[in-house]
Amino acid sequence: MKNSLRLSHLATVAAGGVLTAAMLILYITQPPLLARLDLKVYDSLLPLRAAPSPSPVPAIIDLDEASLAQYGQWPWPRYLMADLLQILAEYEVAAIGLDIMLSEPDRSSPDHMRAYLKRDKSVSLDFVGLPPELYDYDRLLARTLKEIPAVLGAYASFAGSERISAVSDNPPPPSVSLIERELPGAVDYKPLMPSASNAVLPLPELRSAAPLGFVNVASDLDGIVRETPLVIRLNDRIYPSLALRSLMLGLNLSNITAQAGPYGLETIRIGRYAVPVSPQGAMRVPFLGPRRTYPYFSAGEILRRGVSPDHLRGRIVFVGTSAPGLLDIRATPLDQFYPGVEVHAAALDAMLTGNAIRIPPWTPALQVLGIALTGILSTVLFGFSRPRIYLPAVIALIAAAIIISRRLFSAGIFVSPLYFVLTAAMLGAFLLLLRFWQEEQQKLHLRGVFSRYVSPEVVKRITKTRGDLFAGEERDLSIMFTDIRGFTSISEKLSPQQIVALLNRYFTPMTALVLEHGGTMDKFIGDALMAFWNAPLEVAEHQIKAVETALLMQERLVLLNEDLRAEFGVDIRIGAGVHSGPAYVGNMGSRDMVNYTLIGDSVNLASRLEGLCPHYGVGAVVSADTMRACGDAFAFRYLDTIRVKGKIRPVPVYNPLRREEAARQREEMETWEETHACYRAGHFSRAAEMAEALRGQFPESKLYSLYAGRARELAANPPPDWDGVWIMAGK
């Protein structure tokens, strides 16, 4: 015994060591699947963070659908952009960031149109009365840019073979002044920064009038934007992002301070604002919510001066688009359709509020140490403790990792709990499986014995009921009985072997329908079938599933009869009764033999309803309780209000129909409702006439024949205290 226990402990320690080492290898190699999962962990923490409210500084000037509908498709003439920027300047905005590309000449300018017509059509065009400043819209925009606080958007390309716009072909744009501060052991961070040799730049005359800011954002493996580069290296010059350059312009600053450490960049400072960045100079953008976290103002409204200057005064605004057709839509952790222009607003907000998320350079060392400690602690707990505390131990370890990670995240530091959780979960799962293997073997043996006598669902229930196999409970159930009509006469035509074969052919698809719709088979009683729903397991909308099964049985029987006619020379018809109500369900019987079944008044009523099918000439009869629970899932034809044998309370009964079938029979059903209303009101002569008319139209309907005869009898001998309830003499 001691040797067995010692070996068990050694196996536990060995397994813990192997699994911990495997997890360390996985962390170091970062497989794509786990890397994506790690990103999702970050996304799940983001909305849980107690972040500050959005800064009142950022705002969006939206080239939205309404603006495009009013002023024409994009790109707009540059004079219109000049008007927009001029109005924003008049509204005293602090800075304007243009998240649009102005890299090609405006072809709608009169000078350009004149040149194109001369070249392509040999047509000389002149303009009379046109102010000189409107001959070239690009020059007009350049003059406007010189007078306002605006930043032009540029796009850096990092694909070596892609030639977008060779920077070397033009004079390089002015870069920002960079103040470098190095911590002890700092490395040269510039080679680590994203370096671009090609870029989409504004026209030379435009970029000579306003500073540049790059609009690039960084997508992760799953295509979701979680960070944006704040600085980009282009031809050995340092250029800021659009958000950073707009902040510099708003603060009237011309330089930034870069602080580097042993792993690369650590902080970028703009005046009094310090922004933590990755060693490559990228900032994690802590998105505060889905799109429109920041105020949007329609560009068309601005052009019409329909926005109060008070809404924009002192703000840093970004001009861009939320129109899907212009394809500037990004996926973020909190929104799959996030306008790209709002990414810059979110980045600016993080800089202003100090809300950026940091992944410190010492995070990998902390992760390795944490995985090792989690592995050791899990191994000790699972190797030298009793089985009953395994699950609490796993939960405690996982909860501790998640809580610590969440606390750090709230403080602005992201340390993923993923590998800690996986280490604890893997060790816990492995040792739980090992420890409970013998008990599982006993359960399998028990299931094997009982599966010879009862259904698989009942086996599961019995194995969960430890000890008392006769345990039961009262539950709300839907109960169904079915029966083959005229089975005695069918049996007289067939041999006993054929009868058994016929019943097998019939019961097989009907039983499958019950099980497919979450029902439990109770028993076969000759040619009858009994099933119920919502036990032993709870079944959502069990009333609907029971009625659906009854209708599908009738539909399946149409196809089945084709085979039965060919094999046995017979057609069969069935009736189904469904009632929903409380019943006692459990294992009942003797000590030597049990059956998982149910008992109660609801069972008796369901059986009585099935017996009413031939009386009314319908395939299924359901109670009012079932009808009400089904809501609008089906249409129901009101049949009668009856008092069945052995019952005092009258029971309204209905015939369920597919809604499309009821729609086809709308006029017939409306006439039937009027007929039955006369019958219930005691107008028996009128009811008899209307029922006779329906029988004339539908001679195959037993229901109309029944009511025509019943109404005539009642008209001849009116009952003194008629309440609309018909008393059924038999079962």
d(C-alpha 491, C-alpha 696), whole Å: 34
d(C-alpha 356, C-alpha 276), whole Å: 7
The DSSP result for 703-714, as a single string, is: HHHHHHHHHHHH
pLDDT higher for 197 or 446?
Answer: 197
The reply to whether 30 and 78 lie within a common domain is no
pLDDT at 160 over 60: no
pLDDT at 6 over 80: no
The reply to whether 241 and 160 lie within a common domain is yes
Beta-carbon count within 10 A of 168 CB: 9
The reply to whether 156 and 280 lie within a common domain is yes
Residue 515 domain-assigned (yes or no)? yes
d(C-alpha 531, C-alpha 282), whole Å: 64
Residue 606 domain-assigned (yes or no)? yes
The reply to whether 287 and 152 lie within a common domain is yes
pLDDT at 629 over 70: yes
Residue 478 domain-assigned (yes or no)? yes
Contacts of 267 (CB under 8 A, 6+ apart): 258, 259, 274, 275, 276, 277
Name which of 305, 301, 297 is nearest 321 in CA terms. 297
* Sheet of strand 195-196, all strands in order from the earlier edge strand to the far edge: 195-196, 231-234, 237-240
| 439 — pLDDT class (breaks 50, 70, 90) | low
Contacts of 600 (CB under 8 A, 6+ apart): 474, 581, 582, 583, 584
CB 213, CB 153: distance < 8 Å: yes
pLDDT at 332 over 50: yes
| CB-side neighbour CA atoms (13 Å) of 647 | 26
d(C-alpha 710, C-alpha 728), whole Å: 13
CATH number at residue 652: 3.30.70.1230
Q: CA angle, 447 as apex, 446 and 451 as ends, to 5°?
A: 125
* Domain membership of residue 614 as a residue range: 468-664
d(C-alpha 605, C-alpha 672), whole Å: 25
The reply to whether 517 and 568 lie within a common domain is yes
- Mean pLDDT score of the chain, rounded to an integer? 85
Mean pLDDT of 199-223: 90
CB 141, CB 206: distance < 8 Å: yes
What is the per-residue pLDDT across 521-532, written as a single tens digit (0 to 9) for each? 888 898 999 999
**Beta strand ranges found along 158-295 (DSSP E):** 177-182, 195-196, 198-200, 212-214, 218-219, 225-229, 231-234, 237-240, 255-261, 264-270, 273-276, 282-284
The reply to whether 671 and 659 lie within a common domain is no
Residue 279 domain-assigned (yes or no)? yes
Residue 535's Cα: distance from chain center in Å? 30
What is the per-residue pLDDT across 57-113, written as a single tens digit (0 to 9) for each? 999 999 999 999 999 999 999 999 999 999 999 999 999 999 999 999 988 888 878
pLDDT at 645 over 80: no
Contacts of 460 (CB under 8 A, 6+ apart): 447, 536
Name which of 325, 216, 218, 193 is nearest 268 in CA terms. 193
The reply to whether 685 and 719 lie within a common domain is yes
CB 321, CB 63: distance < 8 Å: yes
- Kindly tell me the number of DSSP H helices and DSSP E strands found in the chain: 24, 28
Domain boundary (649, 664, 679) is at 664
Residue 393's Cα: distance from chain center in Å? 32
Percent composition of the chain: helix, strand, coil (DSSP 3-state, to 5): 50, 20, 30
Q: Which two tokens stand for residue 682?
A: 């005691």
Residue 204 domain-assigned (yes or no)? yes
d(C-alpha 436, C-alpha 630), whole Å: 44
- Would you state the pLDDT for residue 79? 93
What is the per-residue pLDDT across 237-259, written as a single tens digit (0 to 9) for each? 888 999 999 999 999 998 888 88
d(C-alpha 168, C-alpha 228), whole Å: 25
The reply to whether 404 and 519 lie within a common domain is no
Residue 233 domain-assigned (yes or no)? yes
Mean pLDDT of 484-503: 90
Q: Which two tokens stand for residue 172?
A: 């390089």
d(C-alpha 217, C-alpha 229), whole Å: 6
pLDDT at 194 over 90: no
Q: Does this model's pTM top 0.75?
A: no
Beta-carbon count within 10 A of 223 CB: 9
The reply to whether 128 and 229 lie within a common domain is yes
The reply to whether 380 and 316 lie within a common domain is no
CB 614, CB 487: distance < 8 Å: no
pLDDT higher for 607 or 52?
Answer: 607
Q: Which two tokens stand for residue 474?
A: 């009262």
Residue 75: cis peptide before it, omega within 30 degrees of 0:
yes
d(C-alpha 68, C-alpha 236), whole Å: 39
- Would you state the pLDDT for residue 458? 52
Q: Which two tokens stand for residue 49?
A: 């963070």
Q: For residue 706, give Cα distances in angstroms to 223, 617, 646, 689, 696.
A: 69, 9, 23, 13, 13
Domain boundary (332, 353, 374) is at 353
Residue 451 domain-assigned (yes or no)? no
Contacts of 311 (CB under 8 A, 6+ apart): 59, 295, 297
Query: Do strands 574-589 and 472-484 pair parallel, antiparallel, or not at all (unpaired)?
Result: antiparallel
What is the per-residue pLDDT across 113-158, written as a single tens digit (0 to 9) for each? 888 777 877 788 777 677 877 888 999 999 999 999 999 999 988 7
Contacts of 288 (CB under 8 A, 6+ apart): 51, 54, 346, 349
Mean pLDDT of 345-367: 90
Give the percent of the chain with pLDDT over 70: 88
Beta-carbon count within 10 A of 484 CB: 20
| 165 — pLDDT class (breaks 50, 70, 90) | very low
Residue 633 backbone class (left: φ over 0; alpha: ψ -120 to 50; beta: rest): alpha
d(C-alpha 45, C-alpha 401), whole Å: 13
Q: For residue 492, give Cα distances in angstroms to 51, 69, 86, 280, 281.
A: 81, 80, 99, 90, 91
Overall number of domains in the chain:
4
d(C-alpha 596, C-alpha 588), whole Å: 6
The reply to whether 112 and 33 lie within a common domain is no
Mean pLDDT of 494-504: 92
SS3 for 372-424 is HHHHHHHHHHHHCCCHHHHHHHHHHHHHHHHHHHHHHHHCCECCCCHHHHHHH
Domain boundary (435, 460, 488) is at 435
The reply to whether 428 and 562 lie within a common domain is no
Mean pLDDT of 335-349: 93
Collapsing DSSP to helix, strand or coil, 215 comes out as: coil
What is the per-residue pLDDT across 441-473, written as a single tens digit (0 to 9) for each? 555 655 554 444 345 655 565 556 544 444 578
pLDDT higher for 521 or 436?
Answer: 521
Residue 617 domain-assigned (yes or no)? yes
